[in-house]
Amino acid sequence: MNNLIKKSRKLVENFMHSAKISKKLKAVQLQLGIPVHRMVQDEPTRWNSTYYMLKRLLEQKDAIVLLSSKGDAILSVDMIPDDWKTMEFGVQLLEIFETATNQLSKENSTISEIIPLIHTVMKVTKNQDVSGSGLMGLKNDLISSMKRRYPSVEANLTLACATILDPRFKDLPFQSQDHLLAAKNKLLREMEGEDSFNSRIHWTDSSTTSGVPVSVEESSKEQGFWTRYAEIFSQSSPVQQPTLVGYAEELEQYLQEQPLNPNQADMLGSYWFSSPHLRLKQVAKKYLCLPPSTVFSERLFSAAGNICDQKRNRLDPERIKMLVFQNKNLK
């Protein structure tokens, strides 16, 4: 894969550094009815830029092959059929990572999405068929890296509690019943207070099962990720039945409700605002927060850069602040 990426970079450089070749490419694009898009140069510090570069090359494959075969443009790299095949498999393998990255970078994302995201990425990657593409090593490296970075994400009680309190997920994504049990007990302590918790009855283990299938309609690329999540976790999954006492009964009633559509992130606020689970609602306010990320601040800097450019470099600092505020809030 590394050799393919190097060849792809050299190929893209032909179009990025030569106006003559770029003009000929545009003519071929129009001739074939292919989207008139420029090539994408990857940035080594951003892995998804490599994905975008390979994806754009695949989009323009017919135009590149025709341009090269005509002899009108001399390209420094000649892609063979095996290269295109490997590139196609590589893009398919990396697509789920790019989708998950975008999903967690949204302004309405919450930490409750982390556990479902990681489990979905792992399962989709394991199920990818890359036989005959020479990418089995890359697939194994991706899986090993995920396991090394997130050895037991469910053991993080903050993330586990947030996932349970998200009405889209609840207890469906959990793979470890021990971690699920610990998260439920943590929520009980949050609900009734640490001092009185010792006098309450904890959740008890049982072999019964529960779970409600989630129906998802894919209408956009953003919904595609949660469609895959629903396909994986919509089946009934084993959970512990509690001895219903006080707060435990309220939590159990919440878990027995049908989960929301995973694509309905904008429904979280309205769900808890009108929820009858008053004590659980107070705990949800604490856990359903934004994931720690620099994405939002980087977007803010980018907005400021778009407003204050070379042609508008004499704006008053106070006015720039007002324009940035309007840009990010008046939409």
pLDDT tens for the 331 residues of the chain, in order: 788 888 888 888 888 888 888 888 898 889 899 999 998 888 877 778 889 999 999 999 998 888 888 776 677 778 888 888 888 888 888 899 988 888 888 877 888 999 999 999 999 999 888 776 678 888 888 889 988 988 889 999 999 999 999 999 998 889 889 999 999 999 988 887 633 433 444 444 443 334 434 344 444 555 677 777 777 776 544 444 444 447 888 888 898 888 888 887 778 888 888 888 888 888 888 888 877 777 777 777 777 888 887 777 788 888 888 888 887 777 6
pLDDT recorded at residue 212: 39
**Whole-angstrom distance, CA of residue 216 vs CA of residue 68:** 44
The answer to whether 135 touches 90, Cβ cutoff 8 Å, is: yes
Angle, CA of 96, 212 and 123, to the nearest 5°: 25
Identify whether the C-beta of residue 63 lies closer than 8 Å to the C-beta of residue 22. no
Length, in residues, of the chain:
331
0.75 exceeded by the pTM? no
**Per-residue pLDDT at 157:** 92
Residue type, 253: Q
pLDDT of residue 214: 39
- Side chain identity at residue 286, one-letter code: K
